[in-house]
Amino acid sequence: MKVKTSNKSAVFEKKPHIKRGYYAGKLKEVKPRQREDGVAVEGQYGKQIILLWEVFDEAGKKAIVNPVNEEDLIIASVCYSEYKQKDGSYRTAFTPNSAITGIFKALGWGGPDSSEELDLDKYVGEWATLNIDEYDAERDGEDGKKEKYKASTVKDVSIFEEEVGEESPSSTSTTVEEQISDLVKDEVASKLAHVQKLFEDGHITEKGFNTAKEQLEAGIR
């Protein structure tokens, strides 16, 4: 059997990155962490599940768009569902003080002390407040070298107190520019401060300073 080959390394899509802060999140899917062949992938302490969150603005009215692929932003969080014991058996991670219990209580579950049976799929579509932070990630670049970049992660999940908006990701029309405007403004502010310092130190003229300032400010209008 003959197949085509290539000397180029695969380039994996970047994980999403947005400004750190608090956002509205709607649980989109719950699934076990496993390989494509169905074999479970265990963490250091046992079995895990993956929670996929649709991310909205703080008021839960507009879906945030992933600036990488211009699709609705989905951020995954990984939690332990079963802890592995010394004898090789497993015990549930849904105990009163566990992280995963806190997440599903934020989604409306009564907790381990309630008589309610926990069906994880029942909470798909429920809302929570996501505390989104960032971390250092890397991917394979086109030249075969590792490319480092910033990616977002769900640091914490809490009860969503706001009134949820009526618009859904499929019905909300937004542009990438609108969704990442805060990031652009932060970058422009940093450059303005740098230009201001150059002017104050005498490295550029007043005319040059004013020209640079006008150009930078035009970028956020």
Q: How far apart are CA 163 and CA 24, in angstroms?
A: 10
Same domain, 58 and 155: yes
Residue 16 lies in a domain: no
Same domain, 44 and 107: yes
Same domain, 121 and 96: yes
Same domain, 30 and 113: yes
Residue 203 vs residues 80, 194, 211, 213, 217: alpha-carbon distances, Å: 55, 11, 14, 15, 21
Residue 166 lies in a domain: yes
The token duo for 94 is: 């849904």
State how many domains the chain has.
2
Question: In the predicted model, what is the mean pLDDT of residues 175-187?
Answer: 48
Q: How far apart are CA 11 and CA 68, in angstroms?
A: 14
Predicted pLDDT of residue 198: 73
Q: pLDDT confidence of 115, banded at 50, 70, 90? A: low
Same domain, 111 and 35: yes
Q: Are 156 and 131 in contact (CB under 8 A)?
A: yes
Q: Are 183 and 152 in contact (CB under 8 A)?
A: no
Which residue segment(s) compose the domain that 210 sits in? 180-221
Predicted pLDDT of residue 88: 92
pTM beyond cutoff 0.75? no
Question: In the predicted model, what is the mean pLDDT of residues 56-80?
Answer: 85
Residue 13 lies in a domain: no
Same domain, 59 and 144: yes
Q: pLDDT confidence of 216, banded at 50, 70, 90? A: low
Residue 137 lies in a domain: yes
Q: Are 50 and 41 in contact (CB under 8 A)?
A: no
Same domain, 125 and 198: no
